[in-house]
A and B are shown apart, each in its own frame.
Chain A
């Protein structure tokens, strides 16, 4: 048991959460992080889907890593990921149809999410299944964290709601508070992610 949670394994899980965050530090998986975050709910669903897919594709590739010929590894990785994404997309359509409509093509685009390819190439090809699983979960959650932060800010300021519930009290509206329509526009997510990166870098520098 202690071997399963050795320091190295723990690092594989916790590093991507903040110090080595896939979005703000490694600059991977930006496209979907920007596009699906106008509200909190799709952001959460997307974050979880990516976490699950990263974890399982890491495990599968890590199990196959000694049998895949080096020359065709990209194709093999793409096929494994595409198969997992197809499963997740069908599940989303079956159980949370409205969210899957909102996410539209971005579910399919998980295939081309750089986080997946990046982790498969950089981690799963060299490590055993269990560390790879932790690494996948860690990176997925690190990605999800950024999505949730951006989704939170945009939904709160853009619609005055969180997960569809009103959180801005009515008297503020009566006093002249207005929802900021700009936040709903795609352009703002870029600027918010820019600010998140700014904050993240200034904090991390202080730690060192």
Chain B
């Protein structure tokens, strides 16, 4: 239990998907123009993470891992194809749910909803999970069961949500500032994210 809480907090602040690993940058930069849409996308990403990481954990443990099906057979090289198939399926599901229950959110997310399938944060979380399964159990990043996998997925999703809502709020204010012409739009956004990442670095010494 203690380890799960530690994993959860670490993946929000220390191993933040955006600021430490730059995962999910494309949609992060494109959908962060207003807070409401950003929040919607953040929730969608968190939900997809919450479903895919435990499913991929099960696949890794019971199908792919060394000796999981037949002793002495290591199928980990198939991970890319299997993980991406799970993710694509889950995104389809989320798309259908959002379209049914919140058509306005569906319209404002537009193309970026199906693009969650190719959001690196989702694939990245599964691949990091695969890496963390093989770590020493004493390591703070170790994932050793479904509980850990869920805590990690939830933490990563909330970290991503926090980052995109923060950036959207800053960009809403920034619309009124006088930025040099060639730096406008993308350039200044990058530099803003850089400064936010610097701020998040102060969490890196956090030991829980």
A residues with a Cβ closer than 8 A to B are 24, 27-32, 34-35, 74-75, 78-79, 82-83, 85-86, 89-90, 104-105, 108-109, 111-114, 117, 185-191, 193-195, 197-198, 201-202, 205
Indicate if B131 sits at the interface (CB-CB under 8 A): yes
- Beyond A112-B123, A187-B194, 15 additional pairs, beta carbon < 8 A: A78-B117, A86-B78, A86-B80, A89-B80, A104-B131, A108-B123, A109-B23, A111-B118, A189-B22, A190-B22, A190-B190, A190-B191, A194-B194, A197-B190, A198-B183
**Complex Cα gap A203–B187 (Å):** 14
Asked whether B26 lies within 8 Å of A187 as measured between CB atoms, the reply is: no
> Which range contains the number of B residues in contact with the other chain?
35 or more
Chain A residues whose C-beta falls within 8 Å of the C-beta of B84 in the assembled complex: 78-79, 82, 111-112
Q: How far is the CA of A187 from the CA of B16 in the complex (A)?
A: 12
Q: Is B96 an interface residue (CB 8 A)?
A: no
- A–B complex contacts, Cβ < 8 Å, 25 sampled: A24-B186, A27-B26, A31-B23, A31-B24, A31-B26, A34-B22, A35-B22, A79-B84, A82-B81, A82-B84, A86-B80, A86-B81, A89-B77, A108-B123, A111-B123, A185-B198, A186-B21, A187-B194, A189-B194, A190-B22, A190-B193, A195-B187, A197-B187, A198-B187, A205-B182
List 5 tightest A-B contacts by C-beta distance, closest first: A194-B190, A190-B194, A187-B197, A191-B194, A201-B182
Assembly CA distance A108 to B129 (angstroms): 13
Residue of B nearest to A190 (CB): B194
**Separation of A74 and B62 alpha carbons in the complex (Å):** 27
User: A189 CA to B20 CA in the complex, in Å?
Assistant: 11
B127 touches A109 (CB 8 A): yes
CA distance A186 to B201 in the complex (A): 9
- A109 & B190 in contact (Cβ 8 Å cutoff): no
Chain A contacts of B193 at CB under 8 A? 190
CA distance A85 to B79 in the complex (A): 11
Q: Which of B20, B23, B26 contacts A28 (CB 8 A)?
A: B26
Partner of A117, one of B20, B118, B186, B201: B118
Chain B residues with Cβ below 8 Å from A111 are 80, 84, 118, 123
Closest to A185 in B: B201
How far apart sit A79 and B25, CA to CA, in the bound complex (Å)?
A: 22
Q: Which of A78, A112, A186, A195 has the largest number of chain B CB atoms within 10 A?
A: A112
B61-97 interface bits toward A, Cβ cutoff 8 Å, 1 = contact, 0 = none: 0000000000000000111110011001000000000
Q: Which residues in B have their C-beta under 8 angstroms from that of A185?
A: 198, 201
Residues of B within 8 A of A28 (CB): 26
